[in-house]
Amino acid sequence: MEKKNGALEEQITKLKEHLAKMKKDRDRIVDQFFPEDSVDRDEFEDFINKYLRGVEKALKTLTPGAAGKGFPLVVIGSEVDVEDLAGGDCFKFRIVLPFQGHDRLEDVTCLSPAGKALILKRPGEEVIVAAPAGTFRYRIREISFSA
């Protein structure tokens, strides 16, 4: 049990650090991706504010003994292993900020249909992704976060 609690404490610390960094960099991130006033900028600001509140809320619900395999929450920068509920195939997504990286095929922005569906979800949850290529149902198998 002590190992689980230590792992959870490490996850909570990472989540707190991520939240502090995102709060500190919030305005810079918004300005970087949407320098001009626009509907897109307003929507992104709203998304970021809801995201920050969601991470804060999640931190309040994480308790010792709740540790499981992997990270407890999908956040920006995390890698998410999912299972396609229709075909059983498994995929990995990395959630990134808009216009960031896309170094890998599995990179999806937090504003994409997959990113929006996965963000702030927990292992075991099922999500529906309404994408241009169709509607997909995934179950979150595991989350990793190394930031």
Give the pLDDT confidence score for residue 70 in this predicted structure: 77
Is the CB of residue 93 less than 8 Å from the CB of residue 80? yes
- What's the burial of 39, exposed, middle or buried (CB within 10 Å: 0-12/13-18/19+)? exposed
| Residue 6: closest CA among 46, 65, 93 | 65
pLDDT tens column, 23-79: 999 999 999 989 999 999 999 999 999 999 999 999 988 765 444 567 889 999 999
pTM: 0.85
- How confident is the model over 88-108, as pLDDT tens digits? 999 999 999 887 666 676 899
Token pair for 97: 């900020």
pLDDT of residue 15: 92
DSSP notation for 87-134: T--EEEEEEE-TTS---STTEEETTSHHHHHHTT--TT-EEEEEETTE
Contact 137, 121 (CB under 8 A): no
What are the distances in angstroms from CA 125 to CA 82, 120, 122? 10, 10, 6
Report in angstroms the alpha-carbon separations of 88 from 36, 83, 114, 136, 144.
43, 6, 17, 12, 21
Region 79-144: CATH code? 3.10.50.30
Query: 134-144 and 126-131 as β-strands: parallel, antiparallel, unpaired?
Result: antiparallel
